[in-house]
Amino acid sequence: MSGRNTAWRNWAGSARCVPQELVVVRDEEDIVRAVQRAAAAGHTVRTAGTGHSFNPIVTTDGVLLDLTGYSGIVSVDRHTPAVTVRAGTSLRRLNLELEKVGLALSNMGTLDEQTIGGALSTGNHGSGITHPPFTGQLLGLRLVTADGTIRECAADSDPELFLAAGTALGALGVLSTVTLRCVPRFKLRVVSGSEPLAAILADAPAWASRSDHATFSLKAWSGPNASTLKLDRTDDPVSADATRRRYGNTLGEVRCTLAGLAGRVDQRAVRGLMTARLPFAVDRPPHYVDRSFDAFTFPQPVKFLSLEYALPVTELAEAVPAVQRDVTRFGRQTPYSVTVRFAAADDFLLSLAHGRTTGFVNITVPRTVGYTELLRTFEAVLREHQGRPHWGKAHTATWDVIADRYPGWQRFQAVRAELDPRGMFTSDYLRRVLGG
Ligand SMILES: Cc1cc2nc3c(=O)[nH]c(=O)nc-3n(C[C@H](O)[C@H](O)[C@H](O)COP(=O)(O)OP(=O)(O)OC[C@H]3O[C@@H](n4cnc5c(N)ncnc54)[C@H](O)[C@@H]3O)c2cc1C
């Protein structure tokens, strides 16, 4: 819906705004025209994807461009292989289109509904200690800048702009099309299990190196063991029950929300609800095989709140037990879940994994818990361990805290000053996290 006084809100319902004007764009010309019109009128501009960020990174009282109608593949290069795609395309659509031509993305997070522009701009990541965040697949991009001109860049042409624009929170302009490196399509074996947390943390990088994409998670009642999830490439056929298994995760989240609601009435109900075997056997079995993108992701219709910090992987040994202590402080019935994922270092200037092999510590809580309690409980300890807040999740960090954690901070600010000298793409939130 375009127009004036049209309200916008994010997926989680934790951020909302009434922009001066909401403009739904359909092609690159629309983006250029909208930016030039806003520049002439002296308005600020923000860009919205599907609003899957938990914080107010999108909100504005200026002009808001909705990119979700600017979608689809522009071209496929089977030789590299690579795909050029409009930035408003959802990851789900991209995956399905790539599959038709025998290609895939090499890694992704657990969500596929968000736009490619939003995923790049917030530092989106999956897990895999040899895989950098989503930007690791970026080969080039087209950016509509503050005066409406288009800048193209790639690693070998205008590398400084490329490294700044890969993850830029929408602060440099509007990503129009992006080119992503692909791999031949593949399948993954999904293996879930349970292992002693102490053994994992004794050498977390070595533990993570033993599978292509390793994750572990904890609940308040986990005790000494962590639940583990390992995804490895396989040539075996897709399991007959793969789709049902995929929805098992979704039902797990429904259960977590119900437990959160029940816990408001009686805390003791939570653990029973969370640990009961579901009668229709959706709990993950030890093994199944699925198409890569269906193994990485699962449908997530249930709203929740999430906070995540990117730590040097070596900090996990101390940080994870501290977070676990914070969770159990709320009682062994607390339906909070802590998930730890991994990424290789990269060199995008504001990448969460810039310059360091990274362990991501994510805390998910039911919406009934509330944004403030989530922050109050977990943020301090993750910051103490050199954590960088996920650009798209709940956090209270300000630019003066964040700047020291990014060696490329000044380089990013130099590109920002050159491309957007009048702060056309800024907002209250961006002033807080990136400075004025
Ligand atoms: C259920 C759920 C699961 C999630 N799982 C993960 C996960 O596994 N891993 C992970 O890292 N994160 C995860 N997240 C966070 C989420 O994936 C990111 O915040 C998301 O990728 C943002 O995409 P979006 O399209 O919703 O962008 P929005 O939230 O709409 O926008 C985010 C930012 O991107 C900018 N932006 C969007 N499009 C453009 C563009 N074309 N040009 C310039 N700037 C643009 C916006 O201005 C804004 O600054 C999850 C979130 C939810 C709600």
DSSP letter for each residue of 157-175: BSHHHHHHHSS-TT-S-EE
Q: Which of 288, 381, 284, 245 is nearest to 326 (CA)?
A: 381
Going from the Cα of 287 to the center of ligand 1, the distance in angstroms, rounded, reads: 30
Going from the Cα of 71 to the center of ligand 1, the distance in angstroms, rounded, reads: 16
Q: Which atom of ligand 1 is nearest to the CA of 125?
A: 11
State both tokens at 136: 């690791």
Kindly report the protein residue whose alpha carbon is nearest to atom 20 of ligand 1.
119
Q: Which of 8, 30, 111, 305 to mutate to test the pocket of ligand 1 (most atoms within 8 A of CB)?
A: 111
State both tokens at 371: 């944004």
Q: Which of 201, 179, 215 is nearest to 315 (CA)?
A: 201
Domain boundaries, the chain: 2-66, 73-185
Q: What pLDDT does residue 280 have?
A: 47
Pairing status of strand 304-312 against strand 287-291: unpaired
Q: What pLDDT does residue 1 have?
A: 56
Q: Which atom of ligand 1 is nearest to the CA of 115?
A: 25
73-185 is a CATH 3.30.465.10 domain: yes
Residues within a 6 A CB radius of ligand 1: 11, 46-53, 57-58, 67, 87, 109-111, 114-115, 117-119, 121-122, 124-125, 169-170, 174-175, 300, 392
Q: What pLDDT does residue 264 have?
A: 67
Distance (Å, whole) CA 35 – CA 150: 11
212, 128 Cβ separation under 8 angstroms:
yes
Going from the Cα of 104 to the center of ligand 1, the distance in angstroms, rounded, reads: 20
CATH code linked to domain 2-66 = 3.30.43.10
Length of the chain: 436
Mean pLDDT by 10 residues, the chain (436 residues): 83 95 97 97 98 98 98 98 98 98 97 97 98 98 97 97 98 98 97 95 98 94 90 96 80 72 72 66 68 94 90 98 85 80 98 98 82 78 95 96 97 98 97 95
Q: What pLDDT does residue 367 have?
A: 77
Going from the Cα of 25 to the center of ligand 1, the distance in angstroms, rounded, reads: 18
Going from the Cα of 141 to the center of ligand 1, the distance in angstroms, rounded, reads: 17
Three-state DSSP at 200 gives helix
139, 177 Cβ separation under 8 angstroms:
no
HSE, side-chain direction, 13 A CA sphere, residue 341: 26
What is the pTM (predicted TM-score) of this model?
A: 0.94
